[in-house]
Amino acid sequence: MTYSEALDTINSLLRFGIKPGLERVQGLLQELGDPQNRLRFIHVAGTNGKGTTSTLIASTLKEAGYRTGLYTSPYVSDFRERFQINGEMISKESLVEQLEKVLPAVRKMEERGETVTEFELITALALSWFAECHCDYVVLEVGLGGRFDATNVIRTPEVAVITSISLDHTAILGDTLEKIAFEKCGIIKPGGTIVLYPEQSPEVFRTVEGIAEERGARFLTADLNRIREKQASLEGSILEYDGKELRLPFIGKHQEKNAATALAALEVLQEKGAKIPWSAVERGFAGAKLPARMEILSRKPLVLMDGGHNPGCAQALANVLKTYLSGHQLIGVMGMMSDKDSRTALASLAPLFSAMITLRPENPRSLSSEELKAVADEFCGDVRAMDDQEAALQTAAELCGEDGAIIICGSFYLAGELRPLVLKKFSNTKQK
């Protein structure tokens, strides 16, 4: 099997969609010898900030000398971004090899009438790979929700983490913060430890604390009194934690809370015997990388890319634009999925743009450029629907002028499509 054939095989399972329940992934892993039982996990759920928090924890553990797996989603440019050990993606050869191990078990289950979904397959593949590579720790990011997410097949993790919770995937997870928090709390295991992102809404805090108490789990909230922002710019921020300095290469005030959450989780690991010197935290935070999360791709023109696709992400991006780019000519390049709250996202962002270009991401669930324009017209006086991505980037560059900025946002699908085009078009000014 070639790598291309492997991707086709994995993608062929997408059409079966999401089915609640852990029975299939449990059965699949059983066929593989339950590799998850040979691993130690940091399990991370939440609406926003999962990727950043997971990356900070994994990067620090690597710097502390631990062989660290990271399972994350979505990917931006390369499917293999979802499976990493010590910051390196799985090789194409290893992915093919692991798929060839997992497929016979999938076929055996299909013969019994049990249809394995795409996410269940790749979760089993990841766990098999991490176990085979003898990872010391695996930072496991939840795909969707928590309670019925395929990653929740694991036993009690070393620490569970719930990041910022807001309304997203409401058709699946529920239409209130309490319902969504309940689903995320599925990762809280009896007798475990849960770290909660600070400054949650009261109903989220009550739900998480209540479920932790019911399950006899230790409940901790990241302490914002221990952390403060000393300096911040589009380059990232310098934080002070218990009087010690940390450099964070991510943009935005909300990253202070993600950092505090990651630090609280790392302290739980230290209590359980992990040797994590402060120098490893410093290197881990400073060296953390996450594509398409408020990522600067070019300096001239300034191109800022953020794949966040829900109202919380849009508000965080809006805050960054108001803080660091107020008074600049901002040109929005935006695409969104039809099942996302485009109106609320546009209400936060579109008034900040001098002009906007709407594009359709190459995904069957996406809004057409004209559909997104119709909503954006309510909030921005100059909106242009376009179909050609390269032409859209050229138009955006012409509109923003010398001191302006291009802001690409609304969808990780769009980010994945435009990122290589931006890097190629503005390669001479890419951030070093």
| Domain coordinates in residue numbering, the chain | 3-286, 295-429
C-alpha to C-alpha distance for 100 and 123, rounded to whole angstroms: 14
In whole angstroms, what is the distance from residue 367 CA to residue 376 CA? 12
First to last CA, the chain: 37
Backbone angles phi, psi at 334, to 5 degrees: -135, 145
CATH number of the domain located at residue range(s) 295-429 in this protein: 3.90.190.20
- 38-53: pLDDT as tens digits: 999 999 999 989 999 9
pLDDT, the chain, mean: 93
Share of the chain above pLDDT 70, in %: 95
| Closest C-alpha among 56, 86, 36, 37 to residue 269 | 56
One-letter amino acid at 280 equals A
Confidence bin at 428 (pLDDT 50/70/90) = low
CATH class, 3-286 region: alpha beta
d(CA 335, CA 357) in angstroms, rounded, equals 9
Q: What is the pLDDT of residues 202-214, one digit of tens each?
A: 999 999 999 999 9
| pLDDT tens digits, one per residue of 262-309 | 999 999 999 999 999 999 999 999 999 999 999 999 998 999 999 987
Q: Measuring CA to CA, which residue among 64, 25, 28, 58 is closest to residue 43?
A: 58
Confidence of residue 403 (pLDDT cuts 50, 70, 90): confident
Domains 3-286 and 295-429 equal at CATH topology level: no
Angstrom distances, CA of residue 207 to CA of 138, 178, 182: 27, 6, 7
DSSP-H helix ranges across 201-277: 202-214, 254-271
Residues 240-260: tens digit of each pLDDT: 999 999 999 998 888 999 999
Lowest mean pLDDT among 1-5, 17-21, 68-72, 185-189: 17-21
